[in-house]
Amino acid sequence: MLMNAEQSTLVLVDLQKKLMPAISHGGSVVAESVRLARIARLLQVPVIATEQIPEKLGHNEDDISALADHTVTKIHFDACGGGLVDAIPNDRKQVIIGGCEAHVCMLQTALSLLAAGFGVWVVENATGSRHDNDRDAALERLQQAGATIVTVEMVAFEWMQHCEHPCFRDVQKLIK
């Protein structure tokens, strides 16, 4: 099944200022997440961010906060337990997800979204954990559970569908 911009919601999990320095390749995870959120905004895909106990872990990175249409504050590792499903527009059944930590909050959120009947695509290069083996195990588990592993560029080009999309040049600038 192809990702479709009109059916998608982008969910970025816990890209928080105090957490990101501990994430392996954290700067790259944030940069790819920001790039993906910018593409989503160009293509009118809703962007939802989550924050795990922000009073302790801080708020999301500034660029993520600025690009999010809505932020779900949570105490559960699984953002669905904190109201994420209610924040996703009713007509959108595809969730493109990235964030941290891949093996805890992102994993549990993605598994719950699958159980709730959403199609779930995990953006590998916008996902991180403190340890690479935890991230890799989470991606493998999610793939076995029915999620599809993708990259930022895969999402962008599937959302646009063709090179005559009105946002093609703007998206291409973000890709290059």
Position 146, amino acid = G
User: What does the pLDDT read at residue 6?
Assistant: 97
User: What does the pLDDT read at residue 82?
Assistant: 87
User: What does the pLDDT read at residue 80?
Assistant: 97
- Which option is the CATH number for 5-175: 3.30.56.10, 3.40.50.850, 3.40.50.300, 3.40.50.720? 3.40.50.850
Q: Is the pLDDT of residue 48 over 90?
A: yes
Mean pLDDT (whole number) for 79-87: 95
Radius of gyration of the chain (CA): 15
CB neighbour list of residue 128: distance below 8 Å, 6 or more residues apart: 23, 24, 25, 26, 28, 29, 99, 100, 101, 102, 135
Q: Is the pLDDT of residue 72 over 90?
A: yes
Looking at the chain, the whole-number percentage of residues with pLDDT higher than 70 is 100
Mean pLDDT (whole number) for 35-56: 97
User: What does the pLDDT read at residue 176?
Assistant: 85
User: What does the pLDDT read at residue 168?
Assistant: 96
